[in-house]
Amino acid sequence: MFGLTRCPHCLAASGGNRQGMTKKPLIISRADEQAVTIQNLSAEKWRFYMKKVCAFLMAVLIFGACTAQALPAMPEVSAPCAVLADINGNILLEKNSHEKRPPASVTKIMTMLLTMEAIESGELKYDDLLTVSEHAASMGGTQVYLEPGEKMSVRDLLKSVAVSSANDACVVLGERLAGSEDSFVSLMNKRAKELGMNDTNFVNCNGLHADGHITSAHDIALMSAELMKHEDIKQFTTIWMDTIRNGEFTLSNTNKLIKFYPGATGLKTGFTTESMYCISATAERNGISFIAVIMGAETIAKRSADASALLNYGFANYTKVSLMPNSEKLSPIPVNMGKKQSVDITLKSDSDMLVDKTIVKNMERQIAVEESLNAPVQKGQKVGTLTLKSGDKVILESDIIACESIERKSFFDVFWTCLRAMLMKPENK
């Protein structure tokens, strides 16, 4: 389980060890170098000092409450491996995130990713009809019972993978993109390396158990984030129930969060006796999205509960902050000896960022840019820095860059500029 971090200030405020507290007289104040104890107080002094004690205890309680708010408790997760990430794949919480385990059908996230990339590049179209091979039809496990020689559209094959976790449909897509399943698996491993999935080795395209077919919760978060960049995939991953073959075959989503978790957008479940229950769950609320990865849960119920707990934690404790509000604009920078007098500037990365809600109120934005630039100026040239800080802590730094290239004036440019200035100079009257 994720461990809870107890704030040291709370421990200090609560008095630490309680042993022996009643064995010594409580010293309230000191006068003339003599301790005044509770036993010696008059009734009037007793009321006076008790007010002091109550005020002190109230301060302790208020301080403790504020500290607890600043350090929200992490959720308990029963599964051996888990990750909470933002939609860009940045890890927010982790538990044994790099432990290598069989992922079962969560493997299909990579199959869907390569399919979506092929569709968006024009290599594949949703309406393309693909022919089922003997090999594809021979797949066991979850399937849509494709027959050798049967033709099915890319749209229905992808729907079958995303909704019903069809092993046979995965192979049909892989064979179309690479010629064979083995060649497609090579593409999967190549793409995994490009994404930094260093804990991963794929042996097949659907997640049926095989020796050496492994990944980690960390790597699943990375490929999930990459797949979710393709907005079109949500038309499949958010389906609860649908049909293929002109309504003759019903598909039911293996991810129960799609129906029961508010804002769920996907993504993929998996189970074998070796992997146990796995999931990469995605959800979006108010423009904020998270990825919760669970590996090795004991039951479907525990898998769903663990994923829900992580997603709940994300929505409760993080918010989105704009690096540069729409109401603000960076002023152009003057360019010395440039063919243009100034250059517009912008943030190199102006995407919103996710931050802990407890630091938002104390966050400040600092902008430092060059007062002027000497031509030539190159497009993308760094001209300053935007820094987000909370107190002394730097949350993020983003380069400020030039929006365009500006050439340096030539000798003749300067000459004609001076000549025009002289000719246009008004006569003195």
Catalytic residues: 105, 108, 165
CB 109 within 8 A of CB 280: yes
Report the chain's terminal Cα–Cα distance, integer Å: 89
Phi, psi (rounded to 5 degrees) for 206:
-125, -10
Instruction: Give me the long-range contacts of 368-373 (CB less than 8 A, separation at least 24).
Output: 369/330, 369/333, 369/345, 369/400, 370/333, 371/333, 371/334, 372/333, 372/334, 372/335, 372/336, 373/333, 373/334, 373/335, 373/336, 373/338, 373/343, 373/402
Cβ count near 43 (within 10 Å): 7
Distance CA 116, CA 226 (A): 11
- Using DSSP, state whether 305 is helix, strand or coil: helix
Is residue 268 within 8 Å of 255, Cβ to Cβ? yes
Other C-beta atoms lying within 10 Å of the C-beta of residue 345: 23
User: Which three-class secondary structure state does DSSP give residue 175?
Assistant: helix
User: In 10 A of CB 185, how many CB atoms?
Assistant: 21
Residues 6+ apart with CB under 8 A from 153: 126, 127, 128, 129, 130
What CA–CA distances, in Å, run from 150 to 18, 131, 146, 169? 75, 6, 7, 11
**Strands of the sheet with 373-374, listed across from one edge:** 342-343, 333-336, 373-374
Measure the CA–CA gap between 426 and 429, rounded to whole angstroms: 9
